Each structure stands twice: as C-alpha cells, then as structure tokens.
Amino acid sequence: MKLSPLQIARYQYQPKLPGMLRNGIAKICVKNGGATESVADQDKIKALFPNTYGKNEITFQKGANTSEAKKQVVGVILSGGQAPGGHNVICGLYDALKATNKDNVLYGFKGGPSGLLEDSYVIFDDEYINAYRNTGGFDIIGSGRTKLETEEQFAVVAEVCKKHGITAIVIIGGDDSNTNAAVLAEYFAAHNTGVQVIGCPKTIDGDLKNEDIECSFGFDTATKTYSEIVGNIQRDANSAKKYWHFVKVMGRSASHVALETALQTQPNLCLIGEEVAAKKMSLAAIADYIADSVAARAAKGWNFGVAIIPEGIVEFVPEFSVLIAEINELLAGSKADAFNALPTWADKYAFIEKGLTKESMAVFAILPQSIQQQLFLERDPHGNVQVSLIESEKLFSEMVKANLAERKKAGTYNGKFSPLHHFLGYEGRCAFPSNFDADYCYSLGYNAFMLISYGYTGYLSKVSNLSKPAEEWVAGGMPITKMMNMERRHGHDKPVIRKALVELDGAPFKFFEANRETWAVETCYLYPGAIQYFGPSEVCDTTTKTLALEKA
C-alpha cells in the first residue's frame, strides 16, 4: 500500500501520556478519591444501579502496581459518528494491555455495537495496530449507531463474552453510548458475569462534558479543521470583497462546534442555538439580526462577510420546533402515502395548509420553497423530519435577502448581497488527529486498560487538567452513574448522562458575546491555518479556546 509522507511521519509520532502513567505499568497505583453520588435524582439512580452506584472516584499515581495478575481478554467497540483520535484510543488500550502481559488479547468488534451482537470481530496484533497509529477515521473496525440497551441484547453480549473468555468491554462513544455502557455494566454485575465495562468519551459535537469530563475527544481536531476552512473563506471574502458566506458547521444539537469555530476565526456572525432558544427568537428575528450586520457593513462599503450557522439551529427556534412536530403528526402512519400520492406541489401545499395550525402555517409560508419541500421529503426511519438535513444556511440567506429587499424599499439599505453556502461536517470527522487528540485519545485508551486491570466497572476513562501540558494531565476514572440524572425520553423516565449544551453564562459564550458586536461590523478575521503536527509546542499542542476559557 502506498502511503503519503504525512502518514509515514505520523506513524512515527509517539503520543504523550500523562506524567503519572509514564513510569511503566509496574509503577502505576491507585489513589482513591471519595465515594460518588449522581448529579441529580440520587435515590432513583441508586435504585436502578444497585451494584455500580456510589463507587469511588479514582486517580492513578506513581507507586507499586497492586492489580491482580490475570490474563485479560478485552473487547472494544467504536460507537456512533466518527471522531478524530478513535484509532489512538484503541492503540493506547492495546499497548497497555500488551505491556502488562503479552498473552493478553484485544478483540475489536466490527461495525459498532452490532459487531458485539453478531460476534463479528478481529483480533489485533502489532502489524494491524501499527497501520492505524495517529491516523484519523474509525476504519480500523468501523462504527455504527445500533443501540445496546435491551436486556435481550445484553444477554447476547454476555454469551459472546463467555464464548471468547472476554473479561472486559471498552465502549468508545458519546453520551448515549456511555449511558448504555453504565446499564450494561450494571447488568453484567447483577448477573455475576465477571465482565467489566469501561467507557471513553467521544464526539466531535463537544456535548459530552461535565464537571468530570473536560471534553470529548475529536472536538479539538474537528473544530481546528473547520476553523482552518472558515479562515480560508474569510481570506477569500476579504480579498474578493463581493460575497457573503453562510457556513453551516456540524453539531447535531449543541452549538459548541459553531462557538469554538467562531472563537478561533472571529467571523462577522455566529448563531448560537442555545441563545436563540433562551431569547425565544423567531426565524424573522434571526434574519433581521443577520441583515443588521449585512447593512452596517454595506454602509462602510463592505458587501462581504462570513456567518456561521450551527447544524442544530432550527430545533432551537421555538416556532420551528412546533412546526416540525405538527408536520410529523400530519404525515404520521399512512397519511404520508396520501400526501405522496398528490400529483403537484400546489396540491400538496393545499393539504399542508389544511393540516397545520394557523400559527405554524404562518411560519411555513415564510420559508423558501426549497426548504418547504425539504421538510416533506427527508424522513428518518420513524417517519420524522430529518432536521439535521435542512439547509439552514440557505434558509437564513434567503430570509436575509427578503429582509434586505424590504430595507431597500424603505431606503435604509443600498448594498449588494451575493450569498454563497457551505456545509462543514464530514471534512472534520476523520482528519488526522491533532497532537492534542492523538495524545488525549492514546491516554484515554491506556488509562482504560489500567481501570480494567484494577478491576473497575461502570467507569468512564477520565483524563483531566487538559489545558495544561500532557505531563500535568491527571489520569483516573469516574463511575458513570455519577454523571447521570433522570430525563424523559420517548415517553419514559430514563437514567441518562445529561447532554451538555452551550452555557450562556459560561466563559466561552461570554467572551464571544463581549466581542461579537465589533466583529459584526468590522473585519476582525483570524486565520488559524491548517493543523500543525510538527513544530513549536504553542503552535502544535494547544487545545481549544473553549477549554482555555473554561479553565482560565
């Protein structure tokens, strides 16, 4: 196989471990922290997790290794969307496992959680692992979105583990997957299977974080990749001076990715879904807000700019959420067939008009026709509108165009508005991990094996103090139940890890808020450039502005 020069160079990169894990396996011991309680609903969570609730937080430190000497057979899965660094979690896990005992075995179950259910796997060896060190992607074993959540599934997984003599499973996933890891750990403990479960925090969305987990892996590389591209677009905008660029960035729900990209690039505008919801902004109000910036810049002779739109924005617009709910209802079950059988868009429009409330119809009516049609075309397997596929960057630019036309009529605007659209998502999910993600992920995997060898289950591999150099990182583990609360999901109260949305009183948003009025009118662009893998530490190793501001 032919390799690119960067691939070859990255194979040679030695990821940095936290100082406390650098002394060799024989010199890593446990320091017990206090017993834990869930962040809320303690009685309910305790009742649901009688075997795994309330365990101690732990950190590792230098000292004689007192873990039980036994052969470990570990299974690992990647769950959900790709995030840069996933390969390194597996490499770190493998290296720690083999450094402890060369007879230890690592199974990689293929295609996500379904690999465990279908008993589809590879057994890793040096040659296999070495081909994936410090590379992006999840192609080492693939990933998937099957949820491991029912007792029947757990029983199948228990059988698969028994068949291979598996002593522990490592689940690399987001909030849902790690919630399910906790439930699986409880099931295994309750059924005396002897199989441990350890989770690792993954998602480019950055919404798996809390007082224990400083950030999920992949967020650093993905946002740096998007920031490089936004910076390049800004340079182009500032050179050509004729386009307004509407750039939608990934992040299914929370706006962390958009906010971080804005902090790195200082665009003219960035919408934050959580703020839109808090201020109950309507679509028209958002369009007006954007048009204000376009008009103010036009008054200075600048008919160009850059606006960042988070992928999840429309779900935060209250009137839009109601509209979506009504459309889902309107097309539920066989009603979708009746709708699809209508021959023309005019017939369909009449059907929609009859079915929606007056308020939702008013919202629907102001949408560009292409978006109206998208709402009725893209359905998920449950028949619901796929909100993430809505081209919100086009939605807002169309609405801004209409708003500016009104301003022109009123004589308050006399500029030119030529919008261009971009969607940055998949470009960032499989990039070569930044040094931060390469180091963080390798440490998470290595640390996961230390948790296994010390017998822990239902723990999340935790590496913290991440805004400091890796030498000062703190490695340990946190019971997943500590991060849980009860939430209403699909009509049932469920124990879950709370999804972290952008906090409007948090330092990253506050910084953005304090500067955005200037950025909206002036040209304050920053050009972060491509991720650097080799060179001075302040260029190559620093992590996100979000983390730096949160930890300042």
Active site residues: 205
Q: Does 85 bind ligand FBP (CB under 6 A)?
A: no
Beta carbon of residue 81, minimum distance to ligand FBP (angstroms, whole number): 3
Q: Min. distance of Cβ 485 from ligand FBP in angstroms?
A: 19
Binding string to ligand FBP for residues 96 to 135, with x set by CB under 6 A, is what? ----------------------------------------
- Residue position matching structure tokens 């009725």: 376
Q: Give one DSSP letter per residue of 465-505, joined into a string.
A: -TTS-GGG-EEEEEEGGGGEEEEEETTEEEEEEPP-PPPTT
Residue 246 parent element (H or E): strand 244-249
**Alpha-carbon distances, residue 3 vs 8, 9, 132, 222, 455 (angstroms):** 7, 10, 12, 23, 40
- Asked if 367 interacts with ligand FBP (CB under 6 A), we say no
Closest CB to ligand FBP among residues 98, 256: 256
Tell me the one-letter amino acid at 421.
Answer: H
The minimum distance between CB 79 and ligand FBP, in angstroms, equals 7
| Contact stretch for ligand FBP (CB under 6 A) within 6-14, 76-84, 127-135, 333-341 | 76-84
Compute the least distance from the CB of residue 68 to ligand FBP, in Å.
Answer: 34
Instruction: Using DSSP, state whether 54 is helix, strand or coil.
Output: coil
What span, in angstroms and rounded, lies between the C-alpha atoms of 516 and 342?
Answer: 47
- Residue closer to ligand FBP (CB basis): 204 or 323: 204
Is residue 80 a contact point for ligand FBP (CB under 6 A)?
yes
Please identify, using beta-carbon distances, which residue of 317 and 356 lies nearer to ligand FBP: 317
* Closest to ligand FBP by CB, 97 or 181: 181
Q: Does 388 bind ligand FBP (CB under 6 A)?
A: yes
Residue 83 binds to ligand FBP (criterion: CB under 6 A): yes
Rounded to the nearest whole angstrom, what is the least distance from the CB of residue 153 to ligand FBP in the complex? 18
CB of 394: closest distance to ligand FBP in angstroms? 17
- How many CB atoms sit inside 10 A of residue 384's CB? 15
Beta 419-424 vs 168-173: how paired, if at all? unpaired
Identify which of residues 203 and 261 has a Cβ nearer to ligand FBP in the complex: 203
Say which residues have a Cβ less than 8 Å from residue 399's Cβ, sequence separation at least 6.
283, 284, 286, 287, 366, 368
Number of residues that bind ligand FBP (CB under 6 A): 13
Angle at 285 between CA 279 and CA 286, to 5 degrees: 85
Taking CB under 6 A as the rule, does residue 250 contact ligand FBP? Answer: yes
CA atoms of 541 and 437, how far apart (whole Å): 9
Structure tokens at 265: 């690039």
Q: Closest separation between CB of residue 287 and ligand FBP, Å? A: 23
Q: Which residues pair with 124 in a beta bridge?
A: none
Gap between the Cα atoms of 83 and 379, Å rounded: 25
CA quadruple 349, 353, 357, 363: dihedral sign: positive
Q: How far is the CB of 549 from ligand FBP (least distance, A)?
A: 22
Nearer to ligand FBP, 181 or 291 (CB): 181
**DSSP letter assigned to residue 529:** -
Contact 268, 293 (CB under 8 A): yes
Could you tell me if 502 and 251 are in contact, meaning their C-beta atoms sit under 8 angstroms apart?
A: no
The smaller minimum CB distance to ligand FBP, of residues 81 and 419, is found at: 81
Q: Does 437 contact ligand FBP by CB under 6 A?
A: no
Token pair in block for residue 504: 């409007």
The C-alpha atoms of residue 67 and residue 83 are separated, in whole angstroms, by 32
Binding flags for ligand FBP, 301-330, as an x/- string (CB under 6 A): ----------x-------------------
Task: For residue 84, state whether it binds ligand FBP (rule: CB under 6 A).
Answer: no
**Which residue lies nearer to ligand FBP by CB, 78 or 269?**
78
Residues 440 to 459: which contact ligand FBP by CB under 6 A? none
In 3-state terms, what secondary structure has residue 361? helix
> Do residues 544 and 260 touch, judged by C-beta distance below 8 A?
yes
In the complex, minimum distance from the CB of residue 488 to ligand FBP, in angstroms, rounded to a whole number? 20
Q: What DSSP state is assigned to residue 64?
A: -
251 makes contact with ligand FBP (CB under 6 A): yes
What is the footprint of ligand FBP within residues 176-205 (CB under 6 A)? Answer: 203-205
Select 220 or 326, whichever has its Cβ closest to ligand FBP: 220
Residue 177 and residue 143: Cα distance in Å, rounded?
Answer: 12
Interface residues toward ligand FBP, by CB under 6 A: 80-81, 83, 174, 203-205, 250-252, 311, 388, 429
